[in-house]
């Protein structure tokens, strides 16, 4: 039995992608529109959103800053004003590599404001509306960096761990009400964020490949979407290792 109601036919569906100016969010928006969905896109950068909206009918741009709770509430009111939403995807994110030997407190807090508080702003304004319409699906993009602690992820990793926990709790609360919930944990995807990494990224995939994997997971009603599986399955297994083994393995693998 599927964890969520499966999405197999997107024709006539309405999706709101928050964090869609580039990378995974934009690729998902393009893929959903190509399959017949009406797509609303949001992000801080208005120009790429408008370019997406102007390219074809059935697209709407709603620029917003997810750290601004009032702006998120206004955008949600407009998105729902045009009809029920079948999918809400939180894909907004911020990433800067950081280690505990060089702490930048402002960067730590910026990660929290965008990655966690931004998601909470969206959840707080959208969940009551989803409950009122008694349908819909809420999906949060986390990361395999949220599975366990990793070098360079002092600021980023904890925020993604928070999103995984948030999605699990939302699923338990909302699934009995007919609302689907999923969490997306990609490995390395070639985006402007990962372009900052100075190391070779194993099993690197394109945003389009990530979007294909996400649509495949939603079609199967999966709660926890992770890809590419040749990489992420090993990371999921590492969650089960005793701490002593895990820390030794990470140090050996990364040299950090």
Q: What pLDDT is attached to residue 199?
A: 65
Q: Does any domain span residue 4? A: no
Q: Does any domain span residue 2? A: no
- When divided into structural domains, the chain yields a total of 1
Q: What pLDDT is attached to residue 238?
A: 86
pLDDT band at 169 (very low <50, low <70, confident <90, very high): very high
Q: Does any domain span residue 158? A: yes
Q: Does any domain span residue 170? A: yes
Tens of pLDDT, residue by residue over 92-122, are 999 999 999 999 999 999 999 999 999 999 9
pLDDT band at 54 (very low <50, low <70, confident <90, very high): very high
Mean pLDDT of the chain: 93
- Percent pLDDT > 90 in the chain is 80
Q: Does any domain span residue 120? A: yes
Q: Does any domain span residue 7? A: no
Q: Domain of 182: which CATH number? A: 3.40.50.720
Instruction: State the pTM of this model.
Output: 0.94
Which of 147, 156, 171, 246 is flagged as catalytic? 156
- Above 80 in pLDDT, residue 1? no
Q: Does any domain span residue 3? A: no
Domain that holds residue 175: 14-254
Q: Does any domain span residue 199? A: yes
Mean pLDDT of 30-40: 97
156 catalytic per annotation: yes
> What's the 3-state SS for the chain?
CCCCCCCCCCCCCEEEEECCCCHHHHHHHHHHHHCCCEEEEECCCHHHHHHHHHCCCCEEECCCCCCCHHHHHHHHHHHHHCCCCCEEEECCCCCCCECHHHCCHHHHHHHHHHHHHHHHHHHHHHHHHHHHHCCCEEEEECCHHHCCCCCCECCHHHHHHHHHHHHHHHHHHHHHHCCEEEEEEECCECCCCHHHCCCCCCCCECHHHHHHHHHHHHHHCCCEEEECHHHHHHHHHHCCCCHHHHHHHHHHHHCC
């Amino acid at each position: 039995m599927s964890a969520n109601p499966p999405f197999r036919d997107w024709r006539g569906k309405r999706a709101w992608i928050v964090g869609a100016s580039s990378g995974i969010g934009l690729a998902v928006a393009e893929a959903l529109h190509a399959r017949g969905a009406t797509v609303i896109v949001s992000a801080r950068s208005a120009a790429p959103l408008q370019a997406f909206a102007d390219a074809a009918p059935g697209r709407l741009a709603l620029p917003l800053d997810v750290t601004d709770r009032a702006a998120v509430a206004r955008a949600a009111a407009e998105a729902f004003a045009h009809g029920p939403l079948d999918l809400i995807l939180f894909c907004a994110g911020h990433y800067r590599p950081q280690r505990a030997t060089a702490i930048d407190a402002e960067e730590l807090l910026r990660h929290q404001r965008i990655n966690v508080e931004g998601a909470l702003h969206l959840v707080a304004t959208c969940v009551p509306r989803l409950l009122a319409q008694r349908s819909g699906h809420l999906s949060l993009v986390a990361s395999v960096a949220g599975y366990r602690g990793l070098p360079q992820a002092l600021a980023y990793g904890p925020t993604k761990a928070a999103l995984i926990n948030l999605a699990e709790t939302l699923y338990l609360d909302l699934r009995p009400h007919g609302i689907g919930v999923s969490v997306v944990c990609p490995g390395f995807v070639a985006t402007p964020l990962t372009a900052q990494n100075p190391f070779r990224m194993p099993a690197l995939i394109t945003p389009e490949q990530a979007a294909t994997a996400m649509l495949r997971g939603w079609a199967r009603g999966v709660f926890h979407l992770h890809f590419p599986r040749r990489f992420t399955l090993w990371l999921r297994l590492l969650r089960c290792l005793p701490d002593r083994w895990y820390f030794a393995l990470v140090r050996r693998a990364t040299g950090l």
